[in-house]
Amino acid sequence: MNFQKKLLTKKTILACLLVLAISVTVSDADCFFQPLEAEVSDGKAVGCHDGNGELHEFGSHWRNADCYDCFCSGAGIECCSSFVRPVSYDEEKCVSIFNKDICIYKVVEKDDHSKECPVKEWVG
């Protein structure tokens, strides 16, 4: 019985390490922070102005034109990429193309954009 407990413990530890390794890769987001430039109404701050001067209420979420998911708080605006970037592919044969309409990169052959290229690693 003691042997089975040790084996189960080892399997549990390995499973936890696997989950942690995947989580670190998945959470590699590209983020930035813009300090608060508040809109004031009746002497009270009501929201954040983004880089385009658009007002967003505190607590609101939106996706900007560059495919970043943003949030307005009392401290400012935090935005993180909603997409992943290809970083490991044959750059001599292939090119990555970003589609802002759907916020996705596609990696295709330089000479024939109808043929997709394999990508070994994505970050975002």
Tell me if 2-81 shares its fold with 85-123: no
The hierarchical CATH code for the domain 85-123 is: 2.20.25.590
- Could you tell me the residue ranges of all domains in the chain? 2-81, 85-123
The hierarchical CATH code for the domain 2-81 is: 2.10.70.10
Predicted TM-score (pTM) above 0.75 = no
Does residue 40 carry a pLDDT above 90?
A: no
**pLDDT value at position 5?**
54
Report the chain's terminal Cα–Cα distance, integer Å.
45
Q: Give the Cα separation of 116 and 66 in Å (integer).
A: 23
Q: Which two tokens stand for residue 5?
A: 């407990």
The percentage of residues in the chain with a pLDDT greater than 90, rounded to a whole number, is 63
**Nearest C-alpha neighbor of 11 from the set 22, 19, 24:** 19
Q: Give the Cα separation of 45 and 49 in Å (integer).
A: 11
**pLDDT value at position 1?**
53
Beta strand spans in 64-123 (E): 68-72, 76-81, 85-88, 94-99, 104-109, 121-123
**Nearest C-alpha neighbor of 81 from the set 56, 98, 64, 99:** 64
Q: Which amino acid is at 82?
A: S
What is the DSSP secondary structure assignment for residue 30, as one 8-state letter?
-
Does residue 63 carry a pLDDT above 80?
A: yes
